[in-house]
Amino acid sequence: MNENYFELFTLKQCFVIDLTALESHYRQIQSEAHPDRFVTASSSEKLKSMQLATLANEAYQTLKKPATRAKYLLTLNHIDATQETNTSMPADFLMQQMEWREALEDYKVAKDVDGLENLMKEMQQMASALTNELNHLFDEKNDLTSATATTRKLIFIDKVCEDIHKAITQIED
């Protein structure tokens, strides 16, 4: 079975991808591998279709988000962006991380949804800038060292955004 996610969806292996094409290819594979099509099939055919559907789902989830797509591209180049030994980050970004985390905690304690939403907007703007930087680093310069550092920042921002979203949900419930 085809393991490369880009090849699975017949996409060029690069950071900037056509999300509409990704979605279209994903839906096509899910339709072709749907269990209803294999009701009378042999167990091995049913298993193959289930494996394809699972692979397509995993591939789609990975490629649709910039941070996970960047991490996957690095993996294809034998680089683990989240490896324990790969934790150095610029001091200014580390300070920014601490400030975001402190603000998140302060807003959670105060049950300040507006504050959380503003923090989320600020982080999404930073994520957008990092995504643009990754476009340049991967597809124009092929600078995998810088792309690794930028990917790590984007992964961190995505994680904090998830935490902000959870905090807002908890406050509103």
CB 167 within 8 A of CB 116: yes
Full domain range(s) for residue 125: 91-172
pLDDT at 37 over 90: no
Residue range 76-88: average pLDDT?
79
Same domain assignment for residues 47 and 109: no
Same domain assignment for residues 161 and 103: yes
Q: What is the pTM of this model?
A: 0.89
Same domain assignment for residues 54 and 102: no
Same domain assignment for residues 125 and 54: no
pLDDT class of 112 with cuts at 50, 70, 90:
very high
Residue range 121-129: average pLDDT?
96
Is 77 a domain residue? no
Q: What is the pLDDT of residue 1?
A: 55
Split into its structural domains, the chain has a count of: 2
Is 161 a domain residue? yes
Alpha helices for 9-87 (secondary structure H): 19-32, 43-64, 66-76
Is 111 a domain residue? yes
pLDDT class of 21 with cuts at 50, 70, 90:
very high
Same domain assignment for residues 99 and 136: yes
Same domain assignment for residues 36 and 106: no
Same domain assignment for residues 51 and 99: no
CB 71 within 8 A of CB 150: no
Same domain assignment for residues 59 and 132: no
Q: What is the pLDDT of residue 84?
A: 63
At how many degrees (to 10) do helices 66-76 and 113-134 cross? 40
* Average pLDDT of every residue of the chain: 93
Is 153 a domain residue? yes
Residue 40: CB atoms within 10 Å: 7
Same domain assignment for residues 51 and 109: no
